[in-house]
Amino acid sequence: MKIITTIEELRSQLRGQLRTAFVATMGNLHDGHLSLMKLAQKHGDPVVASIFVNRIQFGPNEDFDQYPRTFRADVEKLEKEGVYVLFAPTEKDMYPEPQEFRVQPPENLGDILEGRFRPGFFNGVTTVVLKLLSCVSPKVAIFGKKDYQQLMIVRNMCRQFALPTEIIAAETFRAEDGLALSSRNAYLSPAERGGAPFLYRTLQHVADQVRDGYPDIFKLEKHAMDKLSKQGWLPDYVSIRKRINLQPPTAGDIAENTPLVVLAAARLGTTRLIDNLEI
């Protein structure tokens, strides 16, 4: 596996490659990330991964400095997965001058749910993703459904900018007890880790209620928030949305069995977890 740090060298290495498959990460790789690498191998060749902790998507009180960095272990894992190139730029490589040009997602998609609680987050995500796609020029890029809103925003961005990259969605990779794998799971204490699957079970209960025809989605959302609170969580949201645009469904949407997704974000101790489940 070649480890490349500069954009110029990356472009030189990939010149002429027409079927590149790309997976962008912030490192601290777990089995969920590795499942993305495996899916990438099915859709393209060679496979390129990136590791870059993107400062501009972190808020002023978020965990940029504490975000787990495990580069040496990450390299070993990627080599075992047969990744061809690891692009691992420094901040100076990625942003040699202040990144004054930014991508701004539309308010009706970027300022709801995660965007409401993490102002500027999707501005930073879309800006770095657009820059990475420009550097790699992949035929396909793999993004996980765990970050459901991010997946939709990136997919819409690529379509509207007519980028020649197909965004492929990967199913959320879960531990045996249902907890969605995340680098931030490492922040959980042993006791918190034992209680963390309750978030997914809450989503399952909401989804079951919707499938059974329960008509009042707002009551379902509130009940789910109350359940989390009683278990010691601090929920930001539990929200049922239409998959197509993440807008709240109408009664007509419910009656017509419009494809839905229930999304949630909540803190357990000091750790903020997100999850979702398609209905």
Give me the active site residues, please: 33
Name the nearest CA neighbour of 82 among 31, 43, 48, 32: 48
- CB under 8 Å to 194, separation ≥6 — which residues? none
**Residue 68 near residue 186 (C-beta atoms within 8 A):** yes
Distance CA 14, CA 170 (A): 24
**Residue 55 near residue 117 (C-beta atoms within 8 A):** no
Phi-psi region of 190 (alpha: psi -120 to 50; beta: other; left: phi over 0): alpha
The three-class DSSP label of residue 87 is strand
Distance CA 21, CA 37 (A): 9
Distance CA 58, CA 63 (A): 7
